[in-house]
Copies of this chain bind each other. A is one copy, B any other.
Amino acid sequence: MKIVVVGSVALDTVHTPDTCHSDLLGGSASYFSLSAVQFAPVGIVAVVGSDFSEVHLELLRGRGVDLAGLERRAGKTFRWEGEYGADPNQRRTIRTELGVFESFHPELPHGYIDSEALFLANIDPVLQLEVLDRAGKVPLVAVDTMNFWIDGHPDAVREVIKRAHVLVVNDEESRLLTGIDNPIQAAPQIREMGPEIVIIKKGAHGAATLGPWGWLLFPAFPVADVKDPTGAGDSFAGGLVGYLAGKDWRDRDRFAEGLAVGTAVSSLVVQDYGVSAIREERLADLEKRCQALRESTRFACPQGM
């Protein structure tokens, strides 16, 4: 397998001011894989319960996502229910039911060893470490985490971060990891913990990325008709890692291309509920979106100010 993602496959119920959509295909691994598979074969390591619909499996398979690592177990699928306000940046979790995800123990199929890229989505860092131990030689390991794990398993989180090439954090996570409030100041310290590249994601404000070449700044693409922001971060990671897998990602210009792809994918995802927008997405639209982003950020520096 070229790309492997370890994370959640879930059933989401999403409330917005006008609508409610229930039992949507959700979870980090779903969003990541559907975004990344546009660039290279992707395999999912996750677990679903006996209530998981065959329709969702067909959707993933139909798009070319490999499900050899998707365990199906007696019990309930991980469910998340949340509500977005009129301002879609305001999110409230109504309910989280872990179901079979509570005892999830990722098992990598043999064909997933020595992949080109591995994305460890936001799961227990102890499990992330187990995956790293079994994953073989992987030239690009990207990791996501969250405040809950940094607080609860700080040592395991640090060990994972040490072994990551690329770490994705938000402002709060960067603060928890370093004790520094300004993420711009925290990022160099996080790089010293291991990752060559630190991405500070800022939701509707884009992302600031620090690598050996300095900062790469990407605003989010402006979306007027945000329907469902769920999965934007995992889709961003999917576009980024999907594009960079097998490439010389240490190159500044390559990584910038990856960030552009990630930004473009995530801006498309939020324009429909669940994974609908990526599912129907055509590569031509992605390229167009990327070029629109480029046009919106293009400027020259005045000479001889």
A interface residues, Cβ below 8 angstroms from B: 38-39, 85-88, 181-182, 184-185, 188, 202, 205-206, 208, 214-219, 221-226, 243, 253, 256-257, 259-261, 283, 286-287, 290-291, 293-302, 304-305
Contact = CB atoms under 8 A, between A and B. Distances in A.
A119 B224 CA distance: 29
A223 B184 contact: yes
A300 B86 contact: no
B290 A181 contact: no
Given A202-B205, A260-B299, 5 more contacts: A219-B219, A256-B299, A287-B301, A290-B305, A294-B300
Nearest to A218: B219
24 contacts: A85-B181, A87-B181, A88-B182, A182-B224, A184-B222, A184-B224, A185-B225, A208-B222, A214-B296, A216-B296, A217-B297, A253-B299, A253-B300, A256-B298, A256-B299, A257-B301, A260-B299, A260-B301, A261-B302, A283-B305, A294-B299, A294-B301, A297-B297, A297-B299
Chain copies in the assembled complex: 2
Given A219-B208, A224-B184, A301 B290 contact: yes
Question: Which of A39, A182, A299, A300 gathers the greatest number of chain B CB atoms within 10 Å?
Answer: A299
Contacts of A293: 217, 301
Contact of A222 (B206, B217, B221): B217
A218 B208 CA distance: 12
A208 to B, nearest CB: 6
Nearest to A208: B222
Contacts of A39: 305
Contacts of A222: 184, 208, 215, 217
Contacts of A202: 205
A202 to B, nearest CB: 6
Nearest to A253: B300
